[in-house]
Amino acid sequence: MEIRKVTVVGAGLMGHGIAEVFALNGYAVTLEDAFAEALNKARKSIETSVDRMIKSGKIKPDEREEILGRLTYSSELEKASADADLIIEAVPEVMELKKEVLSKISSSCGPDAIIGTNTSNFRISELAGSIKGQDRFIGIHFFNPPVVLKLVEVIKGEATSDKVFEQIFGLIKEIGKVPIRVFKDSPGFVVNRINAPESLFFCLVIDKQIAKPEEVDHFARANGLPMGPYELMDYVGIDTVVHSLDYYKNSLSPDYGRCHAFHDLYNRSELGLKTGRGFYVWKDGKAQIPAAEPTTKLDLMDVLAVEINEAAKIVEEGIALPDDIETGVKLGMNRPFGPISVASGLTNSEVRSKINSIFERMGLEVFKPASSIESGKLREIFSIKGFKGEEQESTVAEKQEAQPAQPAGVYETIKLTKEGKVTVLELNNPKLNLINARVVADLERAIDEVSNDRETVVVVIRGSNGIFSAGAELSQFFSSPADFMNFSRRGQSVFKKIQESSKIFISQMEGYALGGGFELSLSCDIRFATEDVKIGFPELQRGILPGWTGTQRLAKLIGMSRASYLILTSERIEGKQALDLGIVSRVYSRDSIGNETMEFAKKLSEDVAPVAAYLAKISLNRGSETSMDNGLWTEAISMGLLYGTEDIKEGVSAFLQKRKPEFKGK
């Protein structure tokens, strides 16, 4: 059955966000809540959120009424469920309440309607008991806030049909989210299950007085995590954490009942952000974390080892595949790396000895090594691409395996658009177009794609929203110096593809062109900038250096003295200085750079003979890396090659006939 009408039951934090996501994607949505007050609050929150999106240019002002008009608010559960194709339950995480609401939904909705639950932890099969037609019941676990976070866990209960599982998986993709398949409804599914021993670990850190929350949170931030664990628990709600631990105590292991710090806060009703006080006092939506020295009693690897251990158990139990676990943790915890990529840089015995030391320190069974780690099979378990043995599941997994990685022209972080002989490669990664492993992978494919496109002569690289790129975002965990070196080599090899491409690359530097963003520009053949662009290499102030060709390309471009100054001081320059230094060839105003660059690129793509441009580019780049004599040979051989092209004949005869040449690139 096609899904057109969606009803969300429970208009709280999650429900109103889920309703908004569907309305933004063109669905007719009914948002139902037992309390009128909750509905009013939800309506206001949705309106504020839509207005914010209009302000930031994500949606057009004239779409406002249409989007809001798709939403209906109701306090009659039976009526709201009656004609919906999909009903998503998002009432509080209380088993009996959920069962009661789900039972009412299933007796009010049509026989073919799909029923989903946004439960964070409860087994789908446990909730299913209250539903008529259990094969249509499924877990659809959005993350908070649903409008922003991309991840949705799609969870199969014991009775959920494959058809419903796949249909919801497709639907979640269609509304612009990233679904992961959870084949078994183990408590906590993937992300919260990985989080479970971690929460326990941090609870024990307080119980055992190993460190204070602020010492741990400063430590976490210093290690590049967006939020420390205690700040995050305050944000999520101490009550939520406590309820989860209580559920895991009964469903996963009694160990989850063996810590006190969270329950102490809970008993004092200090629930974090929602009550203004938890581990920290919260003001204006921000945790007031006291100043403290980062703890030296913990090692980031402790926490990562706990995650790797739990991830191994998830795969062993056939709950989810390693790639999905990695995606889940990255997107669900808003983190640059997940346990699978961390494990790829470690040996089995390193992980095992770390886990064993945590087990000894904390003394609870949940911290014992997973059996694959115990038996030295971590690598094997994390390279599984599909679950075999159970026919139903392997069919789904194989289907997933058979999907092409990503078809040509489809990129997560890049937009390619063609206008005649010009292709625009636009970096489109939220957060200042930072360059992470995903962007590097997309860049590599996109550069290959434009380089293989016969029509394209000129490529303009720019960034979305007027920002070229604020630099590199380290999106993986590096366990050794050699790992980090390889990361540098990978960026270098992708950027080198630009220099070796047969196309002319122009970089349109606006907003920020910092660090890796600046290096990307340096790899291009021509650079234009806005007057107010901020260009520079901040790397040395962060303890690293420009490691994606920067130290070499900049010195070649502007000479040792000037390059040394810019790299060693991390000084930022603007367009005019960049022009004076010879880094950029033209400077434009912010308003005009887009049109001016395109005009220039179009004219250039018509005026130059493509093969001659390619060989000139190679001679320039090679010549700067070799002796004069070898450079001159490259130049002469290129001339010889050009002599055999049709374009040289066209160029000469057009010149003699005083007409515009028509080059064919042959």
Ligand X SMILES: NC(=O)c1ccc[n+]([C@@H]2O[C@H](COP(=O)([O-])OP(=O)(O)OC[C@H]3O[C@@H](n4cnc5c(N)ncnc54)[C@H](O)[C@@H]3O)[C@@H](O)[C@H]2O)c1
Sites of contact with ligand X (CB under 6 A) = 9-15, 32-35, 38, 77, 90-93, 97, 101, 118-120, 143-144, 236
| Cβ-based nearer residue to ligand X, 99 or 572 | 99
Question: Do residues 294 and 218 make contact, with C-beta atoms less than 8 angstroms apart?
Answer: yes
Which residues partner with 255 through β-bridges? Answer: none
Cβ neighbours, 10 Å, residue 599:
11
| Cβ-based nearer residue to ligand X, 234 or 473 | 234
Residue 198's nearest CA partner among 316, 294, 290, 333 is: 333
Q: Smallest distance, Å, CB 274 to ligand X?
A: 9
Q: Smallest distance, Å, CB 314 to ligand X?
A: 18
Q: Smallest distance, Å, CB 24 to ligand X?
A: 18
Which residues partner with 141 through β-bridges? Answer: 153
Q: Is 519 a catalytic residue?
A: yes
- Tell me which residue has tokens 């008009």: 69
CA distance to 95, 458, 496, 613, 637, per residue, from 632 (Å): 78, 26, 22, 17, 9
- Collapse the DSSP code of 445 into the 3-class scheme (helix H, G, I; strand E, B; otherwise coil) and give the result: helix
What are residue 448's phi and psi, to 5 degrees? -60, -45
- Collapse the DSSP code of 332 into the 3-class scheme (helix H, G, I; strand E, B; otherwise coil) and give the result: helix
User: What secondary structure letter does DSSP report for 257?
Assistant: G
- Tell me which residue has tokens 């259990």: 134
β-bridge pairing 458-463 and 422-427: parallel
Q: Smallest distance, Å, CB 60 to ligand X?
A: 29
- Tokens (6 digits) for 354: 């770390």
Burial class (CB in 10 A: 0-12, 13-18, 19+), 72: middle
Residue 452's nearest CA partner among 429, 472, 430, 423 is: 423
Q: Cβ-closest residue to ligand X?
A: 12
User: What secondary structure letter does DSSP report for 472?
Assistant: B
Question: What is the three-state SS of 530-577?
Answer: ECCCEEECCHHHHCCCCCCCHHHHHHHHHCHHHHHHHHHHCCCECHHH
Q: Smallest distance, Å, CB 89 to ligand X?
A: 8
Q: Give the CA count within 13 Å in the CB-facing half-sphere of 524.
A: 25
Return d(Cα 351, Cα 373) in angstroms, integer: 8
Q: Smallest distance, Å, CB 282 to ligand X?
A: 15
- Collapse the DSSP code of 152 into the 3-class scheme (helix H, G, I; strand E, B; otherwise coil) and give the result: strand
| Cβ-based nearer residue to ligand X, 188 or 511 | 188
Question: Do residues 562 and 580 make contact, with C-beta atoms less than 8 angstroms apart?
Answer: no
Q: Smallest distance, Å, CB 256 to ligand X?
A: 16
- Collapse the DSSP code of 320 into the 3-class scheme (helix H, G, I; strand E, B; otherwise coil) and give the result: coil
| Cβ-based nearer residue to ligand X, 13 or 620 | 13
Question: Do residues 387 and 397 make contact, with C-beta atoms less than 8 angstroms apart?
Answer: yes
Question: Do residues 505 and 498 make contact, with C-beta atoms less than 8 angstroms apart?
Answer: yes
Helices 229-236 and 191-207: crossing angle in degrees, nearest 10, is 120
Please say whether the dihedral angle defined by the alpha carbons of residues 399, 416, 337 and 327, taken in this order, is positive or negative: negative
| Cβ-based nearer residue to ligand X, 143 or 387 | 143
Q: Smallest distance, Å, CB 158 to ligand X?
A: 20
Question: Do residues 245 and 260 make contact, with C-beta atoms less than 8 angstroms apart?
Answer: no
| Cβ-based nearer residue to ligand X, 32 or 473 | 32
Question: Do residues 32 and 111 make contact, with C-beta atoms less than 8 angstroms apart?
Answer: no
Q: Smallest distance, Å, CB 598 to ligand X?
A: 44
Catalytic residue among 455, 539, 606, 662: 539
| Cβ-based nearer residue to ligand X, 27 or 189 | 189
Question: Do residues 117 and 164 make contact, with C-beta atoms less than 8 angstroms apart?
Answer: no
| Cβ-based nearer residue to ligand X, 272 or 322 | 272
| Cβ-based nearer residue to ligand X, 15 or 661 | 15
Q: Smallest distance, Å, CB 128 to ligand X?
A: 15
Catalytic residue among 310, 419, 519, 662: 519
Q: Smallest distance, Å, CB 35 to ligand X?
A: 4
| Cβ-based nearer residue to ligand X, 13 or 544 | 13
- Tokens (6 digits) for 141: 């676990």
| Cβ-based nearer residue to ligand X, 88 or 566 | 88
Return d(Cα 594, Cα 602) in angstroms, integer: 12
Q: Is 539 a catalytic residue?
A: yes
Q: Which residues are catalytic?
A: 519, 539
